[in-house]
Structure 1
Amino acid sequence: MTIKSGEKLPQASFMTFGDEGPAPKTTDEVFGGKRVALFAVPGAFTPTCSAKHLPGFVDKADELKAAGIDTIACTSVNDVFVMGAWGEQQEVGENVEMLADGNGDFAKDIGLTMDGTGFGMGLRSQRYAMVVKDGVVEHLFVEGPGEFKVSSAEHMLEALKG
């Protein structure tokens, strides 16, 4: 069952890569008491994700924060080292928190997985974006297969403007 607007995110743990190396971070730590723009990509370093999705949120970070977003976070079913390297390569700096969902547990728990075995990728996250306020989904934008429209930073900004 796919999570819907108005529902609370399930408890999960991500891995982040910081100055001290890999460290876990719970959904409460990521979303508690904050308004978060979360977006998910099928894979770090993949073409659309690297050329459009992640760069769009980096480029629009100031506008998103001006629209009431406290934190911007990216998640993918990749390990923490891949997410750390991708964030570094994309120069996300403090703009985007990179959340590794290495086993895909978060993606499974919110019902937003896709089967990428035909591409040698295994179980992955669908491409989506959501606005989460204190752990509750405010807006959810899920892409159709092979699309990149509604999960963009630009689309999220339009939704936030009302």
Structure 2
Amino acid sequence: MAKLSVGSEFPKGVEFKYIPFTKEAAGITACGVPTTLDLDKELAGKKIVIVAVPGAFTPTCMINHIPPFGEKLDELKKKGVDDVIVISANDPYVLSAWGKALKLDHKLKFASDPNAAFSVANDLSLDGTALGLGIRTWRYLMIVDNGKISLLNIEPDPTKVTNTGVDAALAAL
């Protein structure tokens, strides 16, 4: 994969894993069945916000970063956003439970970047091995409009949300 930049095409062949929301598996302990989120199909003809976080259930991600995307989803949609995809290197079961815990599983797609492969390939990863966390996704925000990257904000400090929150996405739309 090529490194990502504003104005470039989103790489082809990217697949994340996620568990789609269903009423039958709405309980936080219901596992659901992981499936492939094919970004070639997901991005075609749509405006998608991709927000990456180092980890589900971590303080900054849980409190400051992701909940505002759910709170301001209507504003994003009014500006033409079709969907918001939250990615992390966590497995799809953890991400599904996190979406349920945040009560956002029916609003946003919580998808796994398995082994942070996409993030690593694009120099958007964080090595948390010394902390026992392994390789993670860095904190970043991307807007992809019909397959073309129109915004790519990367947090200078992945423990903070300065340019990757929902307000940054709204300002760029």
- Name the stretch that deviates more: 35-44 or 6-15: 6-15
Correspondence for 1:150: 163
Show structure 1 runs of 4+ deviating over 6 A: none
Pairing 1:44–2:52 present = no
TM-score relative to the length of structure 2: 0.87
Gaps of 5+ in 1: none
1:12, 1:132 → 2: CA distance?
13
Select the structure that is richer in strand.
1
Structure 1 vs Structure 2 CA RMSD: 1.4
TM-score relative to the length of structure 1: 0.93
How far the C-alpha of 1:3 sits from its partner, in A, is 1.0
Correspondence for 1:113: 125
Seq. identity, %: 34
Secondary structure of the equivalent of 1:138? strand
1:147, 1:53 → 2: CA distance?
9
Alignment of 1:4-153 (within 5 A): 4-10=5-11, 11-18=13-20, 19=22, 21-145=33-157, 146-153=159-166
How far the C-alpha of 1:40 sits from its partner, in A, is 0.2
Number of aligned positions between the proteins? 160
- Name the stretch that deviates more: 28-37 or 15-24: 15-24
Given that 2:17 and 2:34 are in contact with CA atoms closer than 8 Å, whether structure 1 keeps it comes out as: yes
Letter in 2 for 1:153: V
1:94, 1:28 → 2: CA distance?
22
Gaps of 5+ in 2: 23-31
